[in-house]
Structure formats: structure tokens, C-alpha cells
Amino acid sequence: RPTIGVLALQGDVAEHLRVLDTLDVHTAEVISPDQLDTVDGLVLPGGESTTMSKLAVRYGLLEPLRKRVRAGMPAYGTCAGMIMLADRVEGAVEGQETVGGIDMTVRRNAFGRQTESFEASVDIDGLDGAPFDALFIRAPWVERTGPEVTVLGSVPGPDGAGRIVAVRQGGLMATSFHPELTGDARIHRLFVDLVKGHA
Ligand code: GLN
């Protein structure tokens, strides 16, 4: 059984652990480089990406995270975690760092005031069964993707144009929404399969 870590600097850590604990994996909170060494894959939770970035620097985790991602550790980011895995961020604050790894540009708080929080049904590539009931909370969307990135799902934005909200690049996955909050473990299972080398 692989060990899946959840980056526990800030954000909805407990919710991710709760879902992962229903799957066939060991789980661990990660707030130190030593803890990072013990995991086979890492979930970066939702929360607030500028705070997460600052804390990653303060805890000496930013460089170790970059190193492990570069070395091929699978990782899955939700919302603020998606921002952390992006190579480029629109709407970043001064000094905001990311781990990077996914060749994409994400726009923070992209869905705007009217729809800061909403639910939508999303068809996710690679998921069997019904569309995924996705919860968005001040969510980013993906503006641009590089050639190595596969788009897994989109939703209509405020103007009706399709906006990318789920992507994969090799062992890295990211979603704008929060599957840890809606009681459907299929996306976490997809990530666990990826860590086990089955996806
Ligand atoms: N708006 C937040 C940010 O930019 C992300 C929100 C979330 O993770 N639910 O970091």
C-alpha cells in the first residue's frame, strides 16, 4: 500500500485525509521535509495559495517540494493546490511562489464575484459513471496549457465560454474544485491508481 501525504501547511487537510482513509492507502500529514521523504504521492489541498506559498517557504518545504515533483513524485492539487502546481499564475500577489510542475497558466479567483462559490456537473475524462458533482470555492481556472498537458474537464465560465477545471500532466493532476467536500471518492481513487502505476 502506498503512502499518500497531504500537504498540511494550511487549508482543508482533514477533509482530504478523510477521503484517502477510505481507500487502500496509508496516509500522512506533510509539514516538514522529513515527512515529505516518506510519501509516495502528495495531495495539495484547497485553501489560500498565497498563505500556502509563504508557509512553504517558512517551513523550508518549497525547494524539497520542487525537487520531488521534478523527480517524478505524483501529486494532486485542488483549488489553491492547483495554483501551487502551476508553472505560471495570473493574479498572483507579489512574491507568491509555486511548486510548479504542470505546464499551465492558472488564473486565481477567476470565476468572479457572482459565482465565487457554485456547484456544477463536470464530465471528467477517465472517470466511469455519472458526471462529477463539483464544488467551486473562489476557484481558479486554467487559462493556457502546454503540449504535455491533458485537459480532463471543463465548465462554462460566467460568459458561457468553456473553462478548463481539471488537468493532468504525467503523474501530476489538478482540479479547480474540491472533490474532498462532496462525498465522491472517484477522483481521489484516480490519483491513488496513478500513484500505484495503474493509471
Ligand atoms: N482563491 C484561493 C487562492 O487563490 C483558492 C480558493 C480555494 O482553494 N478554495 O488561493
Does the pTM surpass 0.90? The reply is yes
- Give 88: exposed, middle or buried? Use CB within 10 Å, 0-12, 13-18, 19+: middle
- Cell numbers 474544485 correspond to 177
Q: How many residues in total does the chain contain?
A: 199
Atom of ligand 1 nearest to the CA of 46: 8
pLDDT digit of tens for each residue in the chain (199 aa)? 999 999 999 999 999 999 999 999 999 999 999 999 999 999 999 999 999 999 999 999 999 999 999 999 999 999 999 999 999 999 999 999 999 999 999 999 999 876 779 999 999 999 989 999 999 999 999 999 999 999 999 999 988 999 999 999 999 999 999 999 999 999 999 999 999 997 6
pLDDT of res. 198? 74
- 29 labelled binding-site residue: no
Q: Are strands 26-30 and 41-44 parallel, antiparallel or unpaired?
A: unpaired
Q: Which of 182, 179, 124, 184 is nearest to 154 (CA)?
A: 124
Side-chain-side CA neighbours of 50 within 13 Å: the count stands at: 9
Query: Can you name the residues that pair with 106 across neighbouring β-strands?
Result: 89, 142
Which of ligand 1's atoms lies nearest the C-alpha of 45? 8
Q: Is 188 exposed, middle or buried (0-12, 13-18, 19+ CB in 10 A)?
A: buried
Q: Which domains does the chain have, with CATH numbers?
A: 3-196 (3.40.50.880)
Q: What is the pLDDT of residue 1?
A: 94
Residue 174 Cα to ligand 1 midpoint, Å, equals 13
- Nearest Cα to 124, choosing from 171, 185, 170? 185
Confirm whether 16 is a catalytic residue: no
Residue 180: active-site member: yes
Residue of 93, 137, 177 to mutate, ligand 1, most atoms within 8 A of C-beta = 137
Mention every residue, 6+ apart, whose C-beta is less than 8 A from residue 4: 20, 25, 26, 27, 28, 39, 40, 41, 42, 43, 191, 192, 195
Backbone torsions φ then ψ of 87, nearest 5 degrees:
-70, -30
Our mutation pick for probing the ligand 1 site, out of 48, 54, 85, 113, counting the most ligand atoms within 8 A of Cβ, is 48
What φ, ψ does residue 134 adopt, rounded to 5°?
-105, 135
| Predicted interface score ipTM higher than 0.90 | yes
What lies within 8 Å, CB to CB, of 133 at 6+ separation is 119, 121, 182, 184
How does DSSP classify residue 128? Answer: -
